[in-house]
Structure 1
Amino acid sequence: MRADARKNYDQLLTTAREVFAEQGADASLRDIARKAEVGLGTLYRHFPTREALLEALLRSSFEALADRARALESARDPDDALVTWLREIIAFTHAHRGVIAPMMGAIEDPESALHTSCVGLRAAGASLLARAQRDGHARADLDGSELFDLIAALAWLREQPSHAPRADRLLNVIASAILTRRMA
């Protein structure tokens, strides 16, 4: 990549991170380009879709969450490992306002730029769940896709100001429904 193109790319990512933090994942791409002091065409040359921009912004965080799940797989207590990871991924989605809807759409759309990262994240959670199930700590009738759906529901709930105060309690209720040795 040419030096000027790299500068624009980096500036777009920095600006998008700021704008998405302020306005959420559905913020105007035109505003991002304007604040980055580049043309809209430059933004679209680097990021042809909103999902491509989100993927570039979130890739390293998704990889870190997947790595964290892999590290938790060796934890002594599989149910605590699963709940720890659930809390961390829900906190992540809460910190990245509005990202849950594109993630849920992308996981079902192999053409989405976010698809591979989201599938990897779901697989990491499914692996933690499978370990807890093998050890008899989690109900056997739940799969990784359903776990990801529960994460999305709890993350969405946390984004709603009138419901956010109940989000932690509801995570505990969900955890007790998933795990065989935990009470809400």
Structure 2
Amino acid sequence: MRKYALVLYENEIDRIFLLEKTGEMPWLSCTMSKLGDPLKTERAQLVLGREDALPSLLKLKATLHTLVDLPLLVFVPPQNLSVLKMLESNGCFLISEEADQEEVDSLILRMVKQGSQACCAEKSRCNLTQRERQIIALLISGQDNRQIATKLGIKLSTVSAHKKNLFLKTGVHTTSQLVVWAMVRDMEFS
């Protein structure tokens, strides 16, 4: 059965890359659209794009979230995948530009099957405690664990325990990923 995708590109290099990726899928019919042009979404079941940086991916997600209720698949450079993966959500999937065709086909078919249940909305916010929010705010300001403990009047081991809980709740593995995670979600901290 034929599937339909809206393919968004920013420049000629992206357009050619996306045409090559989708050209090997005879079952996928694509409508090409330059970013910024009016979107032609009448039959689209998903949106495909290519981004290489955090700001441009955030902008793409925000634009699509306000305009269409379709899942999004974004090809990203393999060296940026681990950082940009933090922007994945229920309906926004990231895949390496070097992924093999079988992996790309499988992911696209899974996304089409999920349909509008998987729109490009952000993951629901984690339920962070007030203290966890304070710790993130201090991490964003550049303070290390010892400085945070002093500032909050708690033990160093307590800061480490809070950070461990934050890693579990957010799904990140390092302090720098936690800072990016918080900044991407534009969370308010006190």
- Give the number of the structure whose alpha-carbon radius of gyration is greater: 2
Which structure's residues are more often helix, by fraction?
1
Structure 1-normalised TM-score? 0.28
Which structure's residues are more often strand, by fraction?
2
Which structure ranks higher in relative contact order (CA pairs < 8 Å, sequence separation ≥ 6)?
1
